[in-house]
Structure 1
Amino acid sequence: MAAQAPVCDFGWKAPDFSLPATDGRVLRFADVRGPKGTLVMFICNHCPYVQAILPRLIDDARQLQREGIGVAAISSNDAEAYPEDSFEAMKRLAETLALPFPYLYDEDQSVARAYGAVCTPDFFGFNAEDALQYRGRFDASRKEAAPPGTRRDLLEAMQLVARTGHGPAEQIPSIGCSIKWKSS
């Protein structure tokens, strides 16, 4: 089921976390933050919205890292209901694609709840003071990749954050598969 992220709550402070990464480390927000800002992305393996953008997301993450933005991805989906989102499957994906950013596992879903994550992908772009500046889409892609030459909303927004500390006033919300919450 498709879900849409809410609009950016400018200035909202990034919640801390301590999560296992696919490379065997346990990382906190401070470990992934960059000198000019931080991008925290909620993604998962099976979502067609994520699959449609993943190659370009990897390229854009590398570019943002070169510009001083720290990048991390978190998967919070219920792996019992969606085995393709299990930690083992995450490890395989991270290795196969040589992800240039940590891929973290939020097994108890507490980090997704703390961030108010709604869908995959859901992007949280923070400035150097850890204040939210971007909660928009990657680009115009949906379940298929947008055509070449499409405006790169996320990349442009985070480059602006890196340069000025502020995100764009106008943002188009991300849309994707809803987070797969565990039943209580």
Structure 2
Amino acid sequence: MAAIPPVCDFGWQAPDFTLPGVDGKTYSFADVAGPKGALIMFICNHCPYVLAVKQRIIRDALELKELGIGVAAISSNDVAAYPQDSFEKMKEEGYPFPYLYDESQDVARAYDAVCTPDFFGFNADGALQYRGRLDASRKETGPADLRRDLFEAMKQVAETGRGPEDQIASMGCSIKWKESA
């Protein structure tokens, strides 16, 4: 069943984190933020919603980096139940941005992440300005000419420090929480 996150809480401050990346480095929010803002996304390896837009996520991340927006992805799923989301499997994905492992799920909780993908776009002050979808794709990749909601919103954040008032929530697989959590 698809999960849908809440609408953007403008101005909410990005919680800091310290997480290992698949590249062997450890990252904090400040490490991944760019001079114009940051995009933190919760994704995982197995989710059909993420798989449907993986190439678009990469495209947008590379173009946002050129605009001064830092990008990182975090996987928080319970790997005991979903071994394809393990840290070792994450290393195989080859993303051109930090891909971080939230084994304790504390960062997902701090962000109130709901689904994969779940996008959090922050301005240069670390204030939330976008919590919406990548585009209108769902479990299948949408047409190539879909409006690039995430990219356009974060471009606006890079230019003005403020995200669009109208945002359409992302949709995806729910975060796979550990039973003991």
The TM-score bracket by the shorter chain reads over 0.9
| 1:143 paired to 2:139 | yes
**What's the CA shift for 1:25?**
0.3
Amino acid at match of 1:117: A
Amino acid at match of 2:142: A
Q: Could you list the per-position Cα deviations for residues 134-166 of structure 1 after superposition, in whole angstroms to 9, with x for gaps in the alignment?
A: 000000000001101110000000000000000
Amino acid at match of 2:107: V
Residue 153 of structure 1 corresponds to which residue in structure 2? Answer: 149
Amino acid at match of 1:74: I
Pick from 158, 166, 180 the counterpart of residue 162 of structure 1: 158
In structure 2, runs of 5+ residues without a counterpart are none
Tell me, in whole angstroms, the C-alpha distance in 2 between the residues paired with 1:56 and 1:2: 20
Tell me, in whole angstroms, the C-alpha distance in 1 between the residues paired with 2:14 and 2:146: 29
Tell me, in whole angstroms, the C-alpha distance in 1 between the residues paired with 2:36 and 2:4: 27
Residue 86 of structure 1 corresponds to which residue in structure 2? Answer: 86
Alignment of 1:34-183 (within 5 A): 34-94=34-94, 99-183=95-179
Amino acid at match of 2:55: P
Q: Could you list the per-position Cα deviations for residues 67-97 of structure 1 after superposition, in whole angstroms to 9, with x for gaps in the alignment?
A: 1000000000000100000000000112xxx
Number of residue pairs matched? 180
Tell me, in whole angstroms, the C-alpha distance in 1 between the residues paired with 2:73 and 2:116: 11
Tell me, in whole angstroms, the C-alpha distance in 2 between the residues paired with 1:111 and 1:148: 33
Amino acid at match of 1:116: D
In structure 1, runs of 5+ residues without a counterpart are none
TM-score (norm 1): 0.97
**What's the CA shift for 1:34?**
0.4
- Secondary structure (helix, strand or coil) at the match of 1:77 reads coil
**What's the CA shift for 1:32?**
0.3
**What's the CA shift for 1:64?**
0.2
Amino acid at match of 1:101: F
Tell me, in whole angstroms, the C-alpha distance in 1 between the residues paired with 2:96 and 2:62: 7
TM-score (norm 2): 0.99
Tell me, in whole angstroms, the C-alpha distance in 2 between the residues paired with 1:92 and 1:148: 26
Moved over 6 A (4+): none
Tell me, in whole angstroms, the C-alpha distance in 1 between the residues paired with 2:27 and 2:67: 21
**What's the CA shift for 1:100?**
1.4
